[in-house]
Amino acid sequence: MDHNNQISLVLKWPRKSINIDLDVKIPAQGVTAIYGPSGSGKTSLLRCIAGLEKVKHCTLSFRDQVWQSAKHFVPTRQRAIGYVFQEASLLAHLSAADNLNYALKRANPGKPLATLEEVVELLGLAQLLDQFPDQLSGGERQRVAIARALLINPDLLLMDEPLASLDHARKQELLPYLERICHQYNVPVIYISHSLWEVSLLADHIVMLDAGRITKSENFLEAINSPDFPISQQEHISSLLQCKVMEHNEQWGLTRFTLKELTDPVVGQKLNEHSLWLQQCDLSAGQEVRLNILASDVSLSLSHHEDTSISNILPVTIISIEPLQHGLLMLQLALGESILRAKLTQRSVDRLALSVGQNVWAQVKSAALIQ
Amino acid sequence: MDQVLGLTPEDWQAIFLTLRLATLVTIILLVIATPVAWWLTTTRSKLKPIVGALVALPLVLPPTVIGFYLLIAMGPSGPVGEFTQSLGLGTLPFTFAGLVIASVIYSFPFVVQPIQNSFEALGKRPLEVAATLRASRLDTFFTVILPLAKPGFITATILGFAHTVGEFGVILMIGGNIPGETQVISVLIYEHVESLQYAQAHSLSAAMIIFSFVVLLLLYGFNQKQKSIRVIN
């Protein structure tokens, strides 16, 4: 990590509910997800970065600027941040347009990250500008709030579970906007979430928090492709593969993806190229994508069957078998340098006599494309 | 005697004096009460309950008690009186300035409390939002706090004004009954009754009833309207 392009935070904050004690460095580029269960101190961490909490034992620097040290505290209004709160935070006495103008008038000097026209277009706000916050739906309010945070022209965008207060449908509506923002603008984003799905869509880097302590801070793809990645049982268990678009087959309406190795292959080493055929997408060959594969969409067989309707059959090695609830087991399978997760019944595992270290074939029924 | 709307010139003089007093007192109160209400809302100081109780004291004390101590304090040998005399201003009792000071103290809780309530209802979030939008403290006050707390300020203005118009005991104690200087409506009504001029007492009293009713009607009508556009956050 480039020493000058990082956010460095040391925080000791004994609170009534939780004792926060952490020391973390976050890259000041791309999207960093702060991931952890509720009450693990995610929001407290973000509020300290924003300067909304004045904690005694906190040292914080952003790139070459010291935002907080023993003697020094830069107030929130002087930190070049944009902040999206968990629930709607629009100023209730101003229309959507005036909420945006409020930020524009007070924006950080320098070349603007985005113009008003751009964010209105990007977040689909044209129809909403004349409305007041109480006339907007929860999802619309968050879109205006995100636009407002961009218009302050931040050097760092902080988002505190911007989807948490929305129902499932609204989340699905807002997620594409978030993806667009994270990928379109060259501003580092720190994104708090307890949803692995959101993290899979957005994150380049992950910081995992548990009971006020950092359990992991690393590249997200590497993290989720390591066998000790903690899989929450509430979530749909899934795996995330970094893939490359190879070719399109017009006749079948399919696209072929190959698995990209996470680390650079050793020169001269023969690569075992794993391919997946999925429904055709409109991406050009060579483009990199992430594929999210639900554990319930993966089944195993002991031999390579040709007489099956499933066209994606990959050679894997079982690296762990862990019990889930209701007689189900989660198997982690090594696929090149990535990890594929499968959810099987205890009965299937017994019947096939599966054990750790065994080489088997994984059949993948479907995968979701994440750009 | 020339009468307008059944009121004598003496009555009108008292009415204008009362309105002048109430207007001036309300303006002074808004200026003083706002920072006090803000301090009471945001402070973590141990002094908060003490200051809160002091501010609310006029709500429970008989006006004569306040009037009595103000009379002593502002009198020739009281601390305030000695101070004003040393400035060559004479003493404050039985002057319009004395009435203003007394009224400000007496009506203080009626202005502080609605403003404080509306500040407390705002919560921390709008202030945090303003801070992340790079607004300075002063900027935040005028562009966020004031507009969001407007209902509290309107209630405070109406209550402060109406309460000053209606006060009697404190004024009688420190202001007496000097026409054009300290003779406000309530005192004049008392004077009319004392001298058995019931007809005049009637017309002034009726005017006061109508005035008070209209003020309360405005207040409740306004509050009703506010409810339909509740602040969301």
- Do residues A304 and A244 share a domain? yes
Q: Is residue A173 part of a domain?
A: yes
The shortest CB-CB distance from A91 to any of B129, B134, B230 is to: B129
The shortest CB-CB distance from B232 to any of A52, A92, A103 is to: A92
Range of the domain at A147: 3-224
Which of A157-171, A203-217, B144-158, B217-231 shows the lowest per-residue confidence on average (mean pLDDT)?
B217-231
Looking at the structure of chain A, the number of domains it has is 2
Q: Is residue A230 part of a domain?
A: no
Whether residue A73 is predicted with pLDDT greater than 70 in this model: the reply is yes
Question: What's the rounded Cα separation, in Å, for the pair A208 and A45?
Answer: 12
How remote is the C-alpha of A66 from its chain's centroid? Answer: 27
Q: Is residue A231 part of a domain?
A: no
Q: Which of A196, A101, A194, A218 is nearest to A151 (CA)?
A: A101
Q: Which residues of A touch B133 (CB under 8 A)?
A: 102-103, 106, 148, 152
* Mean pLDDT score of chain A: 88
- Do residues A207 and A245 share a domain? no
Whether residue A193 is predicted with pLDDT greater than 80 in this model: the reply is yes
How remote is the C-alpha of A327 from its chain's centroid? Answer: 30
Residue A100: closest C-alpha in chain B: B133
Q: Give the three-state DSSP class for B2.
A: coil
- Do residues A216 and A334 share a domain? no
- Do residues A352 and A209 share a domain? no
* Residue written as token pair 């921390």: B124
Whether residue A265 is predicted with pLDDT greater than 70 in this model: the reply is no
- Do residues A184 and A283 share a domain? no
Q: Within 10 Å of residue B182's Cβ, how many Cβ atoms?
A: 22
Q: What is the CATH number of the domain that holds A264?
A: 2.40.50.100
- Do residues A212 and A322 share a domain? no
The shortest CB-CB distance from B133 to any of A87, A92, A106 is to: A106
Higher confidence at residue A265 or residue A105? Answer: A105
Q: Which fold has domain B9-228?
A: MetI-like fold (1.10.3720)
Q: Which residues of B touch A140 (CB under 8 A)?
A: none
Angle at A57 between CA A56 and CA A59, to 5 degrees: 115
- Do residues A289 and A356 share a domain? yes
Tell me what pLDDT residue A368 has: 85
Q: What is the average pLDDT across A39-57?
A: 93
**C-beta of residue A9 within 8 angstroms of C-beta of residue A24:** yes
- Do residues A73 and A189 share a domain? yes
Q: What is the pLDDT of residues B29-55, one digit of tens each?
A: 999 999 999 999 999 999 999 999 999
- Do residues A158 and A245 share a domain? no
Q: Which residues of A touch B139 (CB under 8 A)?
A: 106
- Do residues A191 and A268 share a domain? no
Tell me what pLDDT residue B233 has: 34
Q: What is the CATH number of the domain that holds A60?
A: 3.40.50.300
- Do residues A50 and A128 share a domain? yes
Q: Which residues of A touch B143 (CB under 8 A)?
A: 102
Interface test with B, best of A53, A54, A87, A91 (most B CBs within 10 A): A91
